[in-house]
Amino acid sequence: MKQINQPIQDETFKKMFDIGEKLYEQSSFLRSVKSNYLRFGSLSEKQIETFKRVAEELANPAKAETSDAAGEKEATKAGKKAKANKLSS
């Protein structure tokens, strides 16, 4: 934790990484992304998107479970629709 407590100058990243120490303690992924930013000075768009998503899911687990269930339901619908289309052709 000591190495990820270094100050961040860029205001955008400073705000993004201001998620509370408890979330960093819970997730090695979040620690790794912040460590990589401090080491290299930048992140890819994919890293930024995923960091924000994971931080949100950890901060609001009930909301994440609801969205996961909705995603599974949509995937099941899509699978059934594809199977029906295949059978009808």
pLDDT for residue 62: 84
Per-residue pLDDT tens over the stretch 15-69:
999 999 999 999 999 999 999 999 999 999 999 999 999 999 999 988 766 666 5
pTM, 2 dp? 0.67
Per-residue pLDDT tens over the stretch 46-56:
999 999 999 99
75: pLDDT confidence band, cut at 50, 70 and 90?
low
pLDDT for residue 76: 63
Residues 6+ apart with CB under 8 A from 38: 3, 4, 6, 8
* Mean pLDDT for the chain overall: 84
Complete DSSP assignment for 18-76 = -S-HHHHHH-HHHHHHHHHHHHHS---HHHHHHHHHHHHHHH-HHHHHHHHHHHHHHHH
